[in-house]
Structure formats: C-alpha cells, structure tokens
Structure 1
Amino acid sequence: MQKPYKIPESVLVVIHTSDLEVLLIERAGHPGFWQSVTGSLDTPDEPLLATATRELFEETGIVADGERIVLRDWQLSNVYEIYPIWRHRYAPGVTRNTEHVFSVEVPRDVPVLLSPREHTDLLWLPHLAAADKCFSASNAEAILQLPRQLEKLAGA
C-alpha cells in the first residue's frame, strides 16, 4: 500500500537561545543538508500551532509547554518550489509548498533527542553562521530575520 501523499503546507520552527544561538539538525540520508525543524500538516485541518508543536517534539524531543518553552507564530508564510528530490512525496503535479514560520527560545542546555530516522547530527551556531549553513533559502532567511522578529514579538 502506498503512503498517503504529503500535504503541501508545512511549518518551519527556528530553535534558538536568548543570545541567538540557533539549533540546526542534519537530515538523515542527506549528509550536509542542515536545517531547522520542518514538517507538513498531518491533515488539512490540523492547526499550524499543533503541527509546529508536534514536529518540534518528533524531531528534537523538545516539548513546547506554553509556559517555559513557548512557540511563537511569526504570522509569516513562504511559498517555495519543492526540491525535485522530495517531489515524489507529494501528489502528481504538486510543485509548491506553503511554509509557516515559528520560533522557539530554549535554554542552551535543553536536552535534544533527535529522531534517528529523520536526523543524524545537531549543531548550535550563532545565527549568522547558522543561516550560512542551511541548505534551504527560506530557512536561512528566517534565521536572518530572527533578531527583527524577536524585537517585533517583544513589542506585541
């Protein structure tokens, strides 16, 4: 039986510390592909915050409890062309994905437990170095926007 196609709507979760160290994780099966947490909706009606919470936990073991660790919705979406190496996961003819951006501030010593089927390694880097290391342009751009977004969120 064929796996169901992925929904072309996803979340990107930039994990960072208060001093803008950013956690990057390396994709299993694609050495050198470093990224933040990403993942598609499980169902078309799954709330974005639920998707971000689920993906954060599935990929890193970090629990966004809403008190000590709080996901922040940037109210920002990117539409991008799906990389050809991953298009087979989507229905025929689907070539674009809508990605919704979130961030989460964590203590630097937060335990990170990678999902071995998805990721093989992790790095903490200053945000500019993390942006340079990302293979995804939208992920790199989100990391570059991190200081500005945090200022905006603090003023809200």
Structure 2
Amino acid sequence: MATDYKRPESVLVVIHTPDLQILLLERAKHPGYWQSVTGSREGNESFTDTTVREVAEETGLQISAAQLRVWPGENIYEIMTEWRHRYAPEVTHNRERVFSLCLPSVCDITLSPSEHRAWRWAPAAEAAAACFSASNREAILALPNISV
C-alpha cells in the first residue's frame, strides 16, 4: 500500500461523563454529520496511540493511554464510496477498534476547524440518534454495559 493512502484501520472514541453525557463533533465538510472522535492509524502507531493522538487533534484534550477503556472486538464496515479515494484501489472495508474515555464532567474543547465545525454534549439516547455512523450509534447505546 502506498504511503499516501490511508490505512483501513481506525479508532472510534466515545467521550462521555459518568452520567452519560456524550461529546459529539459535527464534520466540517458534512454539516449534519455528527460523530464521536474517529481517526485512522498512522505509521507504526498502535490503536491506543492513535486514540490518544486523535483525541488531542480533534478536541485539544491531552490524555494518557491509562485513561482509556479498550472495548473487546472490532467493527468491520464498508467504506463510504465518497471516501474510498483516500484508500488503495482494492480497499473497500475498514477495521475499527472502539475506545471510551470518561471525563469527570462536561468541558469545553478546542476543535480542529479542518475536521469539525461544531461540538456539543448530549444525553446518550439523543447522541446516538444524532450519529450518522451505525457503529458510532451502537457504541453509544452499548456504553452503559461497557463503562460500569
């Protein structure tokens, strides 16, 4: 795979509070597309390293790997047609690992304007309903069973 292609391996990071307020980010190039923190692995990064980097890039939050909860398993999903040009020609599916990050309370974040245009905290059911990604919705709805 050429180095300028994205790796078809990514992370999904559900950032939440103990009372399950969920942080959502609205994609800059797709108004109305709300999601949790996401991003692809780069170089020799582990999935955990990718998670720490993506949280910092997309929210400005500086966290450590010890703060993360690593979820079991992984999601495999078809890459949306409009984003396939970022991957090698034969790549059609992505492997996604899920993590969660519990913060003590809602807080302000600093967006990466090239990636996101807005952010908000929402109760879990509202946040899940707002997400365009099925795996993101499922992760938010599963959060009470994972983050006990």
Q: TM-score range by the shorter chain?
A: over 0.9
Corresponding position of 1:37: 37
- Please give the alpha-carbon distance, in whole angstroms, between the structure 1 residues aligned to 2:64 and 2:135: 26
Deviation, structure 1 residue 93: 1.6
TM-score (norm 1): 0.90
Corresponding position of 1:55: 54
Structure 1 residue identity aligned to 2:19: D
- Please give the alpha-carbon distance, in whole angstroms, between the structure 2 residues aligned to 1:71 and 1:12: 12
- Please give the alpha-carbon distance, in whole angstroms, between the structure 2 residues aligned to 1:22 and 1:121: 14
Deviation, structure 1 residue 3: 7.6
Q: RMSD between aligned alpha carbons?
A: 1.5
Structure 1 counterpart SS, 2:15: strand
Unaligned runs of 5+ in 1: 152-156
Corresponding position of 1:20: 20
Unaligned runs of 5+ in 2: none
Structure 2 residue identity aligned to 1:96: H
Counterpart among 109, 113, 123 of residue 112 in structure 1: 109
Select between 99-108 and 133-142 the one with higher mean Cα deviation. Answer: 99-108
Structure 1 counterpart SS, 2:31: coil
- Please give the alpha-carbon distance, in whole angstroms, between the structure 2 residues aligned to 1:109 and 1:32: 22
Structure 2 residue identity aligned to 1:61: G
Residues 9-32 of structure 1, C-alpha deviations (whole Å, 9 max, x = no match): 000000001100000000011000
Cα 1:107–1:79 shift into 2, 3 Å = same
Q: Is the 8 A contact 1:72 1:104 kept in 2?
A: yes
- Please give the alpha-carbon distance, in whole angstroms, between the structure 2 residues aligned to 1:77 and 1:60: 23
TM-score (norm 2): 0.94
Structure 2 counterpart SS, 1:26: strand
Structure 2 residue identity aligned to 1:62: L
Q: Is the 8 A contact 1:62 1:111 kept in 2?
A: no
Residues 90-113 of structure 1, C-alpha deviations (whole Å, 9 max, x = no match): 010211000000000113343300
Q: Is the 8 A contact 2:52 2:65 kept in 1?
A: no
- Please give the alpha-carbon distance, in whole angstroms, between the structure 2 residues aligned to 1:79 and 1:104: 22
Sequence identity, in percent?
A: 54
